[in-house]
Amino acid sequence: MVISYKENPSLSVEDFMEILEKSTLGQRRPMQDVAAMQLMLDNANVYVGAYDGEKLVGLARGMTDFVFTTYLADLAVDEAYQHHGIGKQLLKKVKNMHPRAKLILLAAPAAQEYYPKIGMQKHDYCFFIIDVQEIQ
């Protein structure tokens, strides 16, 4: 298996949704709302795709300010292609695109143990709000 990597590839919303489904990330994304998925795709500014021939088998999608922070919103690898180093390569490619920016992500529950194994440091100070009503 020869995997190639493309920075900022042209992706359709269908391609985006398919790789999320094949990686299980689709379980935690608004897949029923195609318009929202299109906005997620349109408003990210850093992508790296992993390809087996023409087939998209992995995707790193994020937002960056280019010098301080790159927030990785999705690291998706088709389950049939996992455990071959594709996720690690996607992270390296994203980091190399903007080497001054630290790479930050929120791990999916099933991936909590993966990131420390590849050298990422855990940080305990993450906070989030889903609904503005939660702000007191």
Q: Are strands 102-105 and 69-77 parallel, antiparallel or unpaired?
A: parallel
Q: Write down the pLDDT at residue 128.
A: 79
Concatenated DSSP letters of 40-99: HHHH--EEEEEEETTEEEEEEEEEE-SSSEEEEEEEEE-GGG-SSSHHHHHHHHHHHHST
Nearest CA-CA partner of 94 in 52, 24, 46: 46
The two three-digit tokens of residue 114, written as one number: 């993966």
DSSP one-letter code for 14:
H
Per residue in 35-49, pLDDT tens?
999 999 999 999 999
Which residue ranges of the chain lie beneath pLDDT 50?
A: none
- Provide the 10 A C-beta neighbour count for residue 9: 14
pLDDT for res 132: 84
* Among the listed residues 5, 7, 2, 17, the one whose alpha carbon sits nearest the alpha carbon of residue 98: 7
What distance separates the 2 farthest-apart alpha carbons in the chain?
A: 52
